[in-house]
Structure 1
């Protein structure tokens, strides 16, 4: 039997959440190739079990592998974003909240961390260092936990 750590965690946190099937391995490899950044191990492991996660509010807590590529490339190429915001080239955006903020991995001297990015102020603030903690907060503390 294959251990499904991420599926089990999400089911424990939110039993009513309908989980998608796993992402294709080629789609996961495409993320690193196209974004030219290493994909954090825990995010790749989650995508191998479930290709995107939504909470009960409909927020895309974790984007699908395909959306990871599309949205990150779009954010890096959007002319208005290039003028208004600090570069996104060192970030891997992977989730959002209906309140506007988006979440991304950033590589620090100590390893990957998860930041929240506010599009109104361009503020980028470290909110957690693990995907597990991020998911627990998303499902147990509701929208706005990252403030």
Structure 2
């Protein structure tokens, strides 16, 4: 996932374009490199290049209606640890270990990368059915579609 077309690198110009297009979007201070390293170490998985690049420019992105389009690094770590270790989840859901959650729709559905095997596609986990479906091919496409959805379930 390299280059501007996939938004794999060079997120700062892309983020500035998004702020111009979506005036509600506020950029945050960058995530600390140690926070990104901690995610990888504590979850035992590599961050996708595009997610690392985005978080290095803005520690998360919030949609117009409060949806966590891209969570801050601390929430990525916290929520993924919870999904992987909650004592009731193995009886209720398929394993979350292959997934790296990084955002939500504000209504319970979560967005994730598949890390085993590593993929750049973005998937949605339906919290009611436990279904995991591919929604777009890159983080850049996901961000643009999520921000332009007006808070709707654009991925269905």
- The verdict on a shared fold, with TM-score over 0.5 as the criterion, is yes
Gaps of 5+ in 1: none
User: What are the ranges of 5 or more consecutive residues in structure 2 without an aligned counterpart?
Assistant: 1-9
Q: 2:40 aligned with 1:32, yes or no?
A: yes
The equivalent residue for 2:59 is 51
SS of the equivalent of 1:88 reads coil
Q: Per-residue CA shift, 1:60-102, capped at 9, x if unaligned?
A: 1100111110000011111121210011111100000122210
Alignment match, 1:137: 145
* Helix, strand or coil at the partner of 1:62: coil
Please list the CA deviations of residues 24-78 of structure 1 after superposition, one character each: whole Å capped at 9, or x if unmatched. 0000111111111111000000000000110110011100111110000011111
What SS does structure 2 have at the residue aligned with 1:53? Answer: coil
- If the length of structure 1 is used for normalisation, what is the TM-score? 0.92
* 2:100 is equivalent to residue 92 of structure 1: yes
CA distance in 1, matches of 2:11, 2:113: 25
Specify the alignment match of 1:15 in structure 2: 23
Distance 1:21 1:97, change over 3 A: same
Select the structure that is richer in strand: 1
What is the Cα-based RMSD across aligned positions, in Å? 1.8
Partner Cα distance (1:75, 1:3) in 2: 28
Tell me, what secondary structure is at the counterpart of 1:83?
Answer: helix
Asked if 2 retains the 8 angstrom alpha-carbon contact of 1:107 and 1:113, the reply is: no
Q: Which residue of 1 aligns with 2:127?
A: 119
> Distance between the aligned counterparts of 2:27 and 2:115, measured in 1?
28
Change (3 A) 1:87 1:109: closer
Change in Cα spacing, 1:12 to 1:131, as seen in structure 2 (3 Å) is: farther
Q: Is the 8 A contact 2:123 2:135 kept in 1?
A: yes
